[in-house]
A and B are shown apart, each in its own frame.
Chain A
């Protein structure tokens, strides 16, 4: 037993000194888990990616149009991308933005700011990506809100309002199509408003419904705490961490299978055979080293997931059994690969080749939760699937012990069988009689 532990400790020390090996065992699985988790959660590109991208074309180039765009840029929901008219049209056609918004010439001088004038004379134009109609309503609402802000700012500005009223009165006087009686009424009304803006206290302007001090009218929101669905993962990292760490497990399989064959090729196995220990102890040492490396790798990656990525643990005991049974299974596979391989090259090829296939169909590359049904059927033949399933049983899958026992049994039974066959074949190839 002591000899087996000595061999295992020696192998773990050698693994720790092999930087490339260590990257594949710990670095790569971690990168994979984090990367896929970020991609699936939609947070991979940071804040801009989560906003609605809108190309804005300012043909007016007025202070009002600039003020409107600045207001839009302050929005939490819209990412404003300033472009020329041609560029904006191209971006919409290629689906790079949700829509393009054009502020036409005269937008700033228009008393209705492009929205309340008659049909055909609008100073604002919106071109929406036809494939994303669902977002158009949301975008219209956001634009209306920005427009309202713009109008409110203008109403609370005495000078701007009087300039606008003066301009409107001028237009009214020059319009011969209007009935003189009606023109008189309108002139009196606009004159009255002008007088109001001339004489009213600023506090009155600020406190009115359109005053500067008021906020945009909204429907009051009731605080709602979202209830986690117990049948679903806590977050995407809860799915990608069990899958990603399988890369480390297969790296361990490859590293230790290779190390055993290297011991044979380099002659160190001869010295191990000379020592007063049984062949079984030598192979047990190798298997134990592989098992320990897998367990440590799994624990380390889960710890990182737990601390930094909010990967929950639904049942610690189930997780522990899942990790241990998976490590036993893959240690057995490692020994089987050693048993059937005769050289370093064969071991490298066999271990990575077989393991990549297992990964591909077992959920190591595409999460089980995202697999089509036909692939899930193939996945049944991959130990990677059962290992992920067993670990997910401890992380998020709402499975009972009775439901997980067959998976644990499959992993343990498969591991022990593979280990036994591997040991038999390896001993047969080594201890010639």
Chain B
């Protein structure tokens, strides 16, 4: 009985310590914004690695999501005789939900895993310990530029996703199905609000940028320094980042659009 109690207590204590440690790491990374910006070289390299290399998959996915949205939306809308609202439907779904969320999921899969594996391998190769020996702070030198690069890249990628998606929706809706082009853009422009739709979508993607980058770096940083540990950490990055994005998305949507 005492044994069992001790196990529960130990579990809770360890869990609290883990959460506290992660929160402190997160606050440190937030506080390192200015030093990171001052070392633009490191930041630019990471934006290149995380952003530019994710661009192709984001753009292609956005294009096809736009295609499918337009096609599916047309079949549903024309049943109610309102195929002209196609542009509005495509734009709102992309700006409010699909743009930020799908881009974040892809970003977690494409860039988050790369971050985790990189940090995990650095740890396994004792590079991080070597840095500490040379009085170089690995959080400042390695983690912070990657973190802020992810935060910068994510909203840009989400914007590219939405823009390409709307163009894709236009290609299918207007060029292939033959919805009136004026109605497509006109309904969109009268129905989409800059702040409440576009602004909230951008805000979401910024939050997801923080989430995905932090989860990826944390998993790499606490990974077991073995090949197996790194592979586990990479998997956990995808699972946890995706779940966090989806859960946060619900909370953010509930906060933003119901008031």
The judgment on whether A and B are partners is: no
Show the binding face of A for B, using Cβ within 8 Å.
none
Show the binding face of B for A, using Cβ within 8 Å.
none
